Chain A
Amino acid sequence: MDLSIVPLLAILVSLAAVPFILLSSSKPNLREAWTVIAGLIKFGLVLTLLPGAIDGNTVELHLFDLAPGLPLALKADPFGVYFAVIASGLWIFTSFYSIGYMRGAGEKKQTRYFASFAVCLSATIGIAFSANLLTFIVFYEMLTLATYPLVIHNEKREAINAGRKYLAFTLTAGLLLVAASAIIYHYTGTIEFTPGGVFGDMELPRNTMLVVFILFLGAVGVKAGIMPIHGWLPAAMAAPTPVSALLHAVAVVKSGVFAVTRMVGFIFGTDVMAAYGLNDILIVLAGTTIILASLIAFAQDNLKRRLAYSTVGHLSYIVLGIALLTPLGMTGGIMHIAAHATMKITLFFCAGAIYVNLHRTEISNLNGIAKVMPWTMGAFAVGSMGLAGIPPINGFFSKWHLILGSFEGDMIIPALVLIVSGLLNVGYFFPILYRAYFKKGEGLEKYGEASPFMVVPIVITATLSVLFGLFPNLFFNFFDIALLVSESLFNGGTP
């Protein structure tokens, strides 16, 4: 293990930008410059960790004791770096997009918005690099708090209620995490993330293990949007669209599934999960969530809400892949973190561009808009078909591995769930494309494509979705890292 200060710097850089953002409140261009600079530096710092991660190396940094024997420790292992690359990379696009969106929509209190956004990113990278549960809790709660001002951004009654709902769910989750961590610390004496789990050969009563697992599941399941504790996510769509794009499709919810992976692979360990049958609970919940969320998505006329339920479903793809406890399933789950991130952020970006440009939020009003916004809707088509699992977009690649993983574990039902869900995805995305491309629109004459600040990020993320589908190892060796992580979690292949 090497020592390195880079993980800490990567966390702090966006936090350090906050005072600058606040101080340049009256100069919007300067203020946004700080965001972009911080984003670029952060991404650069994370990238310097990437070569090591590809080789399977881990760098560590122990700062000081948070509690006796429990340090505030950072560890950039391959999985953490993988997540950090996705989150910090997409932040850059979101920053540009935010500029276009916030100015285009004439939103108030933009300083608070950009400052909170920077804090969120610090927290997300902190989550990625946490070496133990206590450090993780610190950043997990920080993310909760920093997201709150973004959810209630427009300060309307609906947003405030959404904010309350959000806090009620996430604060409860945080407390369950504290309880679960304390219990694990009591039994094992360590809460450090360890590939293979912290329990070792320890035998715990089945019921105790079950209680700890359920506490844990409640804690990480909220942010991962596992039904029935997903309710905050559709409500949080009251936030401005860039927030929904980066936080409610990438940073916050992916922190949730990241936490699920940490729990399954690094706290309980795949052996313990299998021995106590804990993964069955997870498979049932995830499978149900995938199907139900897809069905509910049909009923949503509001575009963002439909995307939100689609997010709920796709998060459970990842959870399912992890819960299969097979190397291929794990690989597929981890790959889907990146795949869903690039595709869903594209879709949300499109929804935001449509809103800012045409002031339309309902799907039934989207007739014929592909004529005026060809780039946006083209990207939307790529993202939505990718989510449905159509090759060559990266959603296909991860889903392929998920299905293989299901067969590898001799399980048919998860594979069926994934296939049915793919059809449902086509079912609820296709009407949008149909309306946009084939129906005749009204009142669109005076509109054109959205501002370049928004369209360029949209096209880039859509292109990335295709590129990563064709070349999974392009730029960042995501596939190699996913394989590496998943191998490290299984002792010699299958459990």
Chain B
Amino acid sequence: MIESHLPAIIALTFVLFSLLIPLIGIWTKKTAHPLAVLGTGLATAFSLMSFITYMNTGSIRYFFGGWEPPVGIEFVYDGLSGFILLVINSVAFLALIYARRPGHMEFKGKETAYYALAMLMMLGFNGMVLTGDLFNLYVFLEISSLSSYALISIGRKPAPFAAFRYLIIGTTGGTLYLLGVGFLYTNTGTLNIIDMSAMLPMLVDNSSVVTALILMIVGIGVKAAIFPMHGWLPDSYTYASTPSSLLIAPIGTKVAAYVLFRVMLYLFGVDLTDAVVPISYIVGVFACIGIIYGSVMAIAQTEMKRMLAYSSVSQIGYIIMGLSLANPFGFAGALLHVLNHAVMKACLFMITGNLRYKEGHSNIRLFNDSYRKKYPWTMASFSVAAISMVGLPPLAGFFSKWYLALGTIDNSNWLFLAVIIVSSLLNAVYFFRILEKVYMKNPDADAQAEPAKEIEYDDVPASMMSPMAVLAIGLFVIGFANAAIVTILLDIFPM
């Protein structure tokens, strides 16, 4: 019986904990972090249970209070939302476990507010994924955005400015989306996605529907940081505190990308999206430019967090490219990349976090070969994540590229295929640059000037190490088990 309520329970878990943390925080601040971990852990468990239920019985449409749409609000738990939920909640769970020590170091005393906000943000993300109602989606979008502005502003000195910039750009994006929803509502009289998708084919030639679609894509594109709407991202990720960038970077843009999947493939459908203007192709081209631009900019960075931020711009391009291909392999490749990138980016941000925790910086120029001895496990994880980002088998990153490549070939889209190849090489440039620095002596350094003191093992404590190790091992597991995952994903494809 409980299974049918699971979609609501997942979101409500976060509501509960976002209230519980400040309430208990009145007495003691110590419980904030454990409660946040507990809340996300429960949500992850529920997501897993729901996914198993989904595999056995199919999609769940959950009507709040029993009110059926278009009157009431519904949550739609289908394969797509279930998969995304599982990814974001489990990655957030690991990120929050990791957050305790860096959080203690970077925002001591603000834990209660911080973790309450984190729960609110997760509520927003989960709500965006689950909801079957376009306006409701906007509400959750704003919940997640507002809390993420706050989370980003808790950081180093330029962080509030970066957060403010994100606020301006993000709000504009949100408003454009709302405008698009408004256009659709005036035309169809409903906000429910399933209802509306049944009505839209009758409005093919209506120019306001096309406008609405473009407005929604642009608006959500800001949140997903699709080139050229990515301007807020590098500063926000760089200056935010370690736990914030760790929480937001792997998850935030993915949820926005998920909304684009919903809108383009489910609400409009491939035929309708491209009925007037070849929108998916145009989106794909922007994704390609973003992939190349992000990689090139990443090469130019000397701050590792900033490099990873640009790399995110590039990687989100893969996901959007897969979406724009609108064929089963492109779809499966994109979704697999949502998972892979979440795992890889979380792992990489944990590694920068480790370096900041131990060394106090993550400036690539200052990296040297003592790290190999001091932080062997951190650096081993870095190698794994980097090789996966470059896309070498049998690590996870290779396989999303393989399916994306198959997708581009199915569409005879040679440009996109070339972009995938070139970008992988660019990835190799900026990751091997760091590997070289960490694993080799600086060949230009004076051999005589070697420090006399012995370098000793000094890796991070277990609470930071274990989530990172789980993610790094996860890359192997996903790589080897990808056939099973992709079989599920190919089934989910809506056409």
Contacts and interface: CB of A to CB of B under 8 A. Distances in A.
A141 B390 CA distance: 11
B381 interface: no
Contact of A157 (B390, B401, B403, B444): B444
Contacts of A174: 392
B492 to A, nearest CB: 14
B417 interface: yes
A176 B441 CA distance: 32
Interface string A46-81: 000000000000000000111110100000000000
A132 to B, nearest CB: 13
B490 interface: yes
Interface string A153-175: 00111011001100110011011
A138 interface: yes
Interface in A118-162: 134, 137-138, 141-142, 144-145, 149, 152, 155-157, 159-160
B407 to A, nearest CB: 9
B366 interface: no
A426 interface: no
A179 interface: yes
Contact of A66 (B391, B439, B443, B482): B482
Interface string B213-238: 00000000000000000000000000
Interface stretch (A180-188, A386-394, A439-447, A458-466): A180-188
Task: Give chain A's interface secondary structure class.
Answer: helix
Interface in A178-219: 178-179, 182-183, 185-186
Task: Give chain B's interface secondary structure class.
Answer: helix
A347 B312 CA distance: 49
B421 A179 contact: yes
Interface stretch (B104-112, B287-295, B424-432): B424-432
Contact of B394 (A66, A68, A144, A183): A66
Contacts of A145: 387, 392
B399 A67 contact: yes
B445 to A, nearest CB: 11
B161 interface: no
Interface in A239-298: none
B444 A186 contact: no
Contact of B402 (A64, A156, A164, A182): A182
A159 to B, nearest CB: 8
B405 interface: yes
Contacts of A178: 398, 401-402, 405, 421
Nearest to B406: A182
Given A138-B393, A157-B444, A64 B425 contact: no
B387 A183 contact: no
B410 interface: yes
A182 B421 CA distance: 12
A156 B444 CA distance: 8
Contacts of B387: 145
B432 A167 contact: yes
A160 B387 CA distance: 18
A397 B436 CA distance: 44
Count chain B CB atoms within 10 A of each CB in A68, A144, A157 and give the residue with the most: A68
Interface in B410-434: 410, 417, 421, 424-425, 428, 432
B425 A171 contact: yes
Nearest to B412: A186
Nearest to A176: B421
A67 B392 contact: no
Contacts of A185: 406
Nearest to B441: A155
B451 to A, nearest CB: 17
Interface in B53-97: none
Contacts, number: 81
Contact of B403 (A67, A156, A164): A67
Interface in B434-457: 436, 439-441, 443-444
A155 B436 CA distance: 10
Contacts of B393: 66, 134, 137-138, 141-142
Interface string B453-493: 00000000000000000000000000010111011001000
B409 interface: yes
Interface in A25-65: 64-65
A174 B427 CA distance: 14
A67 B402 contact: yes
A179 B405 contact: yes
Nearest to A182: B405
A183 B408 CA distance: 10
Contact of A68 (B421, B436, B486): B486
A417 to B, nearest CB: 33
Given A67-B483, A160-B440, A182-B402, A171 B410 contact: no
A72 to B, nearest CB: 8
A64 B406 contact: no
Contacts of B403: 67
A167 B428 contact: yes
Count chain A CB atoms within 10 A of each CB in B399, B428, B490 and give the residue with the most: B428
Contacts of B392: 141, 144-145, 171, 174
A135 to B, nearest CB: 9
Given A67-B486, A138-B393, A160 B436 contact: yes
A259 B428 CA distance: 24
A354 B287 CA distance: 56
Contacts of B484: 65
Nearest to B410: A186
A152 B443 CA distance: 11
A186 B409 contact: yes
A68 B483 contact: yes
A145 B390 CA distance: 12
Contacts of B490: 68
Contacts of B409: 182-183, 186
Given A64-B483, A66-B399, A168-B425, 19 more contacts: A65-B484, A66-B394, A67-B399, A67-B486, A141-B398, A155-B440, A156-B443, A157-B443, A159-B443, A160-B436, A163-B436, A171-B424, A172-B425, A175-B391, A175-B424, A178-B398, A182-B409, A182-B417, A186-B409
28 contacts: A64-B483, A66-B393, A66-B399, A66-B483, A67-B399, A67-B402, A67-B403, A68-B487, A134-B393, A137-B393, A149-B439, A159-B443, A160-B443, A164-B432, A171-B390, A171-B428, A172-B425, A174-B392, A175-B391, A175-B425, A178-B401, A178-B402, A178-B405, A178-B421, A182-B406, A183-B409, A185-B406, A186-B409
| Nearest 4 Cβ contacts at the A-B interface | A65-B483, A157-B443, A138-B393, A182-B405
Interface of A: 64-68, 70, 134, 137-138, 141-142, 144-145, 149, 152, 155-157, 159-160, 163-164, 167-168, 171-172, 174-176, 178-179, 182-183, 185-186
